Amino acid sequence: MTVIDFTAFIERLASASGDTILPFFRTSLGIDNKNAGRDLDPVTEADRGAEAVMRRMIKESFPQHGIIGEEFGTERPDAEYVWVLDPIDGTKSFISGMPIWGTLIALTHRGQPAYGMMHQPYIGERFSGDNGAALYQGRTGKRKLSTRRCASLAEATLFTTSPRLMNDADRAQFSHVEQEVRLSRYGGDCYSYCMLAAGHLDIVIETELKPHDVAALIPIVHGAGGIMTTWEGEGAEHGGRIVASGDKRLHDTVLKMLQGLCFTPARPFSDNPEAAAPPSAGRGRRASQSPTAGPPTDR
C-alpha cells in the first residue's frame, strides 16, 4: 500500500473533523486551560470532539496503524504507519473568533511525514502535500502550490506566530533576521506555512513546536518546492525550533543568522511597532504585533 492510497480517506477525516468543529466556532463555548500556570493554553470541546472523531475513523479503517494526537496522546507510535493529529492548530485564534486556524492531519511512514493536509472548514480551504507535490483546494477550485523565488532577505516577507512564545535568547536571534526583511508579520499558526507553500510569503520562524504542530506541514512545504528544518538544519519532524523557507538560498542565509554565524546588531523587542521599526525605510517594518502572550504549547 502506498501513501497515495490514503488520500481519499484523509479527505474524509478532514470533512468529519470540520463537521465536528464548525458548530462550536464563534459561539460561547467553554474553554479549559491545559496549563496549570498563569499563561493560557486553551482547549475546547471542539478540539476534543474533532480528534475523537478522527481517532475512531482511523481505528475502524486501519486498526494496525498508530496515532499521535494533541488531545488524547499516543497509541502504537512504533507502527509502520502513524497518524499525527492536531484538531485545531491555532486554538487562541479559534476562541477569539478569528479564522486563522486549521485542522492538521499527517500520515507518517516509518517515522517520516509522508502526507499532510491542513483543512480550514470555515473558509473552505484545504492544503495538502506528499513531499513531491502540493495542492490547494478551495472555492476557486484546485491548483498546484509552488513557493516563490526569493534569494534576498531585503525582499522577503517573514512570519512568526509571536516572538513572545520564544525565550530571550531565541527572540534575540529571531530579531537579527527580522530587522533585515522587507516585511514582518505576526500570527497565522499553520496558515503561515500554507501561505509560504502558495508563494505569498518567504520565511516562517517558530520555536518550541511539537510533532503534531509540524508533521502535516512538512510534506506541504516540501511538495511546493520549499524547505523546512530545525534552526540547526536538521529534519523538522520532531518539532523544536523550526524555520521554513520558500527558497533554499534564503534558507541557508536564515540558518546562518539564527545560528549566530552572521548577524547585524539586533534591536530590542518592543510592543510598539514604531519603536521597533528601523530608521531606514523599507527594512524590517513591523506591520503587526501579537496582542496575546502564551506558552509554547498553545498552537
| 271 assigned binding-site residue | no
Residue type, 219: P
Q: Determine whether the annotation assigns residue 89 to a binding site.
A: yes
Distance between CA atoms of 121 and 84, rounded to whole angstroms? 19
- Give the residue from 84, 62, 64 showing the smallest Cα distance to 73: 84
Answer positive or negative: Cα dihedral of 112, 79, 119, 94. Answer: negative
Task: Kindly give the confidence (pLDDT) of every residue in the chain, 299 residues in length, as a single tens digit, with 9 standing for 90 and above.
Answer: 455 579 999 999 999 999 999 999 999 888 776 666 666 567 789 999 999 999 999 999 999 999 999 999 899 999 999 999 999 999 999 999 999 999 999 999 999 999 999 999 999 999 999 999 999 999 999 999 999 999 999 999 999 999 999 999 999 999 999 999 999 999 999 999 999 999 999 999 999 999 999 999 999 999 999 999 999 999 999 999 999 999 999 999 999 999 987 655 444 444 444 444 443 333 333 333 433 333 344 45
- 70 is known to lie in a ligand binding site: yes
For residues 235 and 238, what is the distance between their CA atoms, to the nearest angstrom? Answer: 8
Architecture label for domain 6-26+45-144? 2-Layer Sandwich (3.30)
DSSP state of 271: S
* CATH code of the domain made up of 153-259: 3.40.190.80
Radius of gyration of the chain (CA): 19
Determine which helix (DSSP H) or strand (DSSP E) holds 19, and give its type and residue range.
helix 7-21
pLDDT at residue 35 in the model: 65
Pairing of strands 157-160, 183-186: parallel
C-alpha cell at 230: 530545525
- Going from N- to C-terminal start, the domains of the chain cover 6-26+45-144, 153-259
The pTM assigned to this predicted structure is 0.85
Q: What is the pLDDT of residue 261?
A: 78
In this predicted structure, what is the pLDDT of residue 294? Answer: 37
Which residues touch 256 (CB under 8 Å, ≥6 apart)?
262
Please work out, in degrees rounded to the nearest 5, the angle formed at the alpha carbon of residue 216 by the alpha carbons of 213 and 219. Answer: 130
The residue type found at 128 is S
State the pLDDT at residue 271.
47
